[in-house]
Each structure stands twice: as C-alpha cells, then as structure tokens.
Amino acid sequence: MKTILLAAAMLVALTTPAFAQHQHGDGASPLTEPGQGAFAAIQEAVTHLMADPTTDWSRVNIERLRQHLIDMDEVTLHATIAVEPVAGGERYIVMGTGRTREAIRNMLTGHVRAMGEAAHWSLTARDTADGVVVTAMGKAPGDAEMIHALGLMGIVAEGAHHQPHHWMLATGADPHR
C-alpha cells in the first residue's frame, strides 16, 4: 500500500508545473525515494496539498509536521527506554535530556491520549522529571507476551494511524483530540 501511495504521490509531483521548474539537468532519474524518511513524509503531504484545489492554505502548517517528525526521530533514536515487567503487561521508563526529553513528552503523552485503547492493550502515561512512564496492560491472556515482543516502539508503530495523524498536523487539525 505504501508503494502504491508513494507512486501516486510521485506521479502527481512529476506532472506538476512546479516540478518542471525544479528539474535538474534533463529531469530524467531512475530514483523514486527522496532520500530521508521525514523529508519523504513532508514531500508526500506537500504533493497532496498542491494537487488539491480546495486546500485551505490559511490552515496548512508544514512546520508543525516537521517538528513532529523531529520528535519521532528523537524518541526512536535517542531516548533511553528501560523496561519493567508488570502483571499483564510492561512499564516503559522513557528518558532523555534536552530536545529528546521534550520530544518524549510531546510524542508519547499525545500518543497515549489518542491511542490508549487498542484491541490488545490499554496504555497510560505519566510525566517524570526525565521523560514519561508508559504502562501497557494486556486485555486478554497472551497479550502480555505480545506487548513484550513489540516493546514500546512496536506498540507506538502499530497500525496505520500515523499517516492520518501526519495529515492532520499538516492541514492544521488537532490530531490529539
């Protein structure tokens, strides 16, 4: 599905007048990836916004999406995550300093608020001096094993909710209501 969406986004991008003005050399390239995940997410959003004649440009906020993507990078790559088993689930002590600590609070607190109830678990979060503690509790026998196998990042990545979340950020909607 991601490949189809990327191909559709590239088709739209390649056929826009802006692309024709921004080509390098003869414009021919066998490459399809823009080179970096956050940039690709922004490019995809911009492509769809530019292709939609009903885009409300007064609400669009690509910088907000960029800041969220920075948060995702900080939490995924730079946060320290300690794991404590609890009966029926796990507790994740997520810590960092500076920009990473800010990202932990931005990303995980909002994620738990928006996605705290899933088919297999319930999530809670509380702020600490160094970050956030997230507790994932299973809802049925065997869910604790799945929670353990996925870990915090697997739980956060579960489902395809990030694309709509990113679209809401880019278009000025509140993704955490």
pLDDT in tens, 11-38: 445 545 454 445 555 667 887 877 889 9
pLDDT for the residue 25 = 58
Give alpha helix (H) positions in 23-142: 37-51, 62-78, 98-104, 110-115
Instruction: List the structure tokens of 114.
Output: 């928006």
Average pLDDT, stretch 68-93? 96
Give the residue with greater pLDDT, 26 vs 150. 150
* For the chain, the helix, strand and coil percentages under 3-state DSSP, each to the nearest 5: 55, 15, 30
pLDDT for the residue 11 = 46
pLDDT for the residue 29 = 81
pTM over 0.85: no
pLDDT for the residue 158 = 85
pLDDT band (50, 70, 90) for residue 64: very high
Give the residue with greater pLDDT, 91 vs 141. 91
Q: Which domains does the chain have, with CATH numbers?
A: 2-64+166-170 (no CATH), 73-161 (3.30.1360)
> What's the mean per-residue pLDDT of the chain?
85
Please give the helix or strand (H or E) that residue 91 lies within, else none.
strand 89-95
Average pLDDT, stretch 97-113? 93
Average pLDDT, stretch 80-93? 97
Instruction: Give the 3-state secondary structure of residue 80.
Output: strand
